[in-house]
């Protein structure tokens, strides 16, 4: 009995270890398909969407992030997992930026379709959409969020 | 008030029309009623109650071409002292890199946590800011040049710096001012005593601020400093027997240093700020200081309670109570939306450094009998919004 319990605990531990490296995102990051970027770290994505990083390193062009509206569950997950902040904190951050004259927030789009259209129409844009949203008919590509 | 109703029902789609890739429009404002329990006036409160405090600011940012931004914010203010329309700031901003941008124009002074967002009530728990720092010591804006930028350490600790110089605008002060008319050889000099608004300025001003944010934005720490040759001017006044459209008086160089600390969780926010002022007069340094500790707790999704303790020590007035300002405030806020809040607060003030008689008659009566009421209680109810 003791041996079985130890084996069970060991297997459970291995399973837990294997899941540590996996982020559970319900979204995927997209850019224009002419963008040469293929992967970004979570911190790099966060800096882009908080406009702490304003230029693409590859071509020094201005980055144009685009958000979903604040009542989107995809945005909530993105805000929690990538920005490490609740949406209300992000909104407060942008209020400070706006009224101190330091910047304005990314535009907000109602649906994944609007985000896809925005990224397709702006070569320097970056956005996020639901994990299961089809992108085939749009000129966009998926960017992998990698570990540091 | 109609503006508040419009904003409550203004659909998001319509708001989007005011934002494009190149121009964005935002604003904020508020209204409050204040009442004190004695002859003293403090903040927007008087003994009879005052409904007159209302303000609205319009903010516009434009990005006409790459790397170049324009920012303008104007304010419309109405209070018991009258109405005014002012330019909060107007400046051009040229981006060189994430670590360096250049700003030129009239810019809000980057000092402590709140100076740049002085009147944005949806970003703080109380209707007004701690007065010791933000009314007495802070420079509202400067006209000149500033450098700013951000950088990270280990991708998670964020640093933002500001360095700036120019001419500063400090907060105007409403004080009792004695001045004399033209002298009449038969009647002698006549001295006029009345409440005047003194407009303070800071010449040859320079300063800096460093803000540090920890991972997960739980802890923010800031160090602020500015220095200027401080002076003030009064308009349309008799001084030393002759009428002057603008009388200017200059003091020496003043130095202001401060530290800011904030700890934030989803339910709790606690802030502490402290500022010291140094000035050299006749070979010796004088030191004044002020600070506050403020905390706010979210009870439910819409209800928030807050408390603040503040002190100020100027030790420059002859009357002890005019050297002192100790304030304890408690408040309750109802957030109909994160951009629209109703606030109620009670302020208990010890000292007359900022809570002083509202009318000249009360002031002179109290001077002659040395009977200033050094304890003032203020009730404030108001609304603030932003978009």
Q: Judge: A52–B122 Cβ closer than 8 Å, yes or no.
A: no
CATH of the domain at B134: 2.40.160
Answer whether residue A2 shows pLDDT above 90.
no
- Domain assignment present for residue B116? The answer is yes
Residue B192 within any structural domain of the chain: yes
Residue A12: predicted pLDDT = 46
Please indicate, yes or no, if residue B44 is contained in any of the structural domains: no
* Dihedral, A41, A76, A134, A113 alpha carbons, nearest 10: -110
Nearest residue in chain A measured CA to CA from B94: A102
- Give the ipTM of the model, two decimals please: 0.88
A80 in B contact zone (CB under 8 Å): no
In a domain, B336, yes or no: yes
Are the beta carbons of A148 and B155 separated by less than 8 Å?
A: yes
Per-residue pLDDT tens, chain B, 387 aa: give them.
444 444 444 444 444 434 566 899 999 999 999 999 999 999 999 999 999 999 999 999 999 888 999 999 999 999 998 899 999 999 999 999 999 999 999 999 999 999 999 999 999 999 999 999 999 999 999 999 999 999 988 777 899 999 999 999 998 888 877 776 655 554 556 677 778 888 899 999 999 999 999 887 789 999 999 999 999 988 888 777 777 888 888 888 999 999 999 999 989 999 999 999 998 766 777 889 999 999 999 999 999 999 999 999 876 555 577 778 999 999 999 999 999 999 999 999 999 989 988 888 888 888 778 788 889 999 999 999 999
CA closest to A53 among chain B residues = B98
The rounded Cα B118 to chain-centroid distance in angstroms is 5
Residue in B16, B73, B95 nearest the CB of A54: B95
Note whether residue B349 is domain-resident: yes
Q: Which residue has the tokens 């685009």?
A: A66
Could you tell me the CA-to-CA distances from A127 to B17, B47, B62, B138 in Å, in that order?
Answer: 21, 55, 22, 40
Tell me if residue B125 falls in helix, strand or coil.
coil
Contact A124, A118 (CB under 8 A): no
Helix (H, G, I), strand (E, B) or coil at A104: coil
The contacts of residue A69 (CB under 8 Å, 6+ apart) are: A75, A108, A109, A110, B12
What mean pLDDT comes out for the span A29-54?
94
The pLDDT of residue A87: 93
Q: Which chain B residues touch A102 with a CB distance below 8 Å? A: 148
The total number of structural domains that make up chain B: 1
Instruction: Among A88, A101, A103, select the one facing B91 at the smallest CB separation.
Output: A101
Is residue B85 one of the residues assigned to a domain? no
**Contact between B263 and B270 (Cβ < 8 Å):** yes
d(CA B73, CA B61): 9
Nearest to B123 among A55, A95, A108 (CB): A95
Report angle CA B77, B230, B280 to the nearest 5 degrees: 145
Q: What is the pTM of this model?
A: 0.87
Domains annotated for chain A, with CATH where assigned, are: 26-146 (3.40.190.10)
In a domain, B369, yes or no: yes
> Rounded mean pLDDT of chain A?
87
Q: Which residues of B touch A (CB under 8 A)?
A: 12, 16, 19, 21, 24, 26, 28, 57, 59, 61, 66-67, 71, 73, 89, 91, 93, 95, 97-98, 103, 107-108, 110, 116-117, 120, 122-123, 148, 150, 152, 155-156, 158, 215-217, 264, 266, 338, 386
- The arithmetic mean of pLDDT across residues A16-28, rounded, is 60
Q: Is residue B108 part of a domain?
A: yes
Look up the domain containing B153 and give its range: 91-386
């Amino acid at each position: 009995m003791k041996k079985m319990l130890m084996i069970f605990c060991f297997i459970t531990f291995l399973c837990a270890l294997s899941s540590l490296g996996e982020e559970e995102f319900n979204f995927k990051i997209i850019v224009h398909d002419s963008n040469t970027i293929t992967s970004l770290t979570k911190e790099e994505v966060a800096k882009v969407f908080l406009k702490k990083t304003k230029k693409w390193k590859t071509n020094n062009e201005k980055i144009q992030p685009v958000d979903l509206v604040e009542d989107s569950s995809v945005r909530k997950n993105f805000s929690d997992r990538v920005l490490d902040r609740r949406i209300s904190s992000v909104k407060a951050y942008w209020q400070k930026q706006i009224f101190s004259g330091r910047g304005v927030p990314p535009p907000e789009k109602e649906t994944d379709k609007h985000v896809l259209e925005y990224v397709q129409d702006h070569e320097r844009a970056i956005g996020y959409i639901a994990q299961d949203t089809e992108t085939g008919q749009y000129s966009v590509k998926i960017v992998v969020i990698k570990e540091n | 008030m109609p503006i508040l109703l419009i904003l409550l029902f203004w659909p998001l789609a319509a708001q989007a029309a005011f934002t494009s890739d190149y121009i964005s429009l935002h604003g904020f404002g508020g209204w409050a009623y204040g009442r004190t329990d004695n002859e003293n006036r403090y903040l927007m409160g008087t003994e009879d109650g005052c409904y007159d405090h209302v303000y609205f600011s319009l903010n516009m940012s434009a990005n006409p071409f790459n790397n170049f931004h324009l920012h303008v914010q104007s304010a419309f203010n109405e209070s018991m002292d009258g109405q005014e329309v002012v330019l909060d700031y107007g400046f051009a901003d040229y981006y060189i890199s994430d670590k360096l941008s250049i700003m030129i124009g009239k810019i809000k002074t980057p000092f402590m946590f709140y100076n740049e967002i002085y009147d944005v009530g949806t970003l703080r728990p109380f209707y007004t800011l701690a007065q010791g720092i933000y009314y007495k010591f802070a420079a509202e804006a400067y006209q000149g040049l500033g450098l700013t930028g951000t950088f990270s350490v280990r991708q998670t600790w964020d640093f933002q710096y500001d360095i700036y110089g120019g001419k500063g605008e400090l907060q105007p002060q409403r004080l009792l001012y004695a001045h004399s008319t033209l002298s009449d050889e038969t009647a002698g000099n006549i001295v006029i005593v009345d409440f005047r608004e003194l407009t303070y300025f800071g010449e040859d001003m320079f300063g800096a601020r460093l803000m540090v944010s920890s991972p997960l934005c739980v802890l923010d720490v800031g160090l602020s400093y500015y220095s200027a040759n401080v002076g003030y001017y009064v308009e349309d006044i008799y001084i030393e027997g002759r009428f002057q459209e603008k009388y200017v008086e200059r003091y020496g160089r003043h130095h202001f240093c401060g530290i800011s600390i904030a700890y934030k969780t989803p339910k709790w926010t606690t802030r502490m700020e402290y500022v010291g002022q140094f000035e050299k007069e006749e070979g010796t340094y004088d030191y004044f200081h002020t600070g506050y500790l403020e905390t706010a707790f979210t009870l439910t999704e819409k209800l928030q309670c807050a408390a603040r303790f503040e002190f100020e020590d100027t030790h420059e007035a002859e009357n002890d109570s005019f050297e002192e300002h100790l304030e304890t405030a408690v408040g309750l806020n109802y957030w109909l939306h994160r951009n629209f809040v109703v606030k109620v607060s009670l302020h208990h003030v010890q000292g007359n450094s900022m809570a002083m008689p509202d009318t000249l008659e009360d002031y002179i009566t109290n001077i002659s009998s040395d009977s200033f009421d050094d304890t003032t209680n203020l009730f404030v109810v108001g609304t603030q919004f932003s978009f």
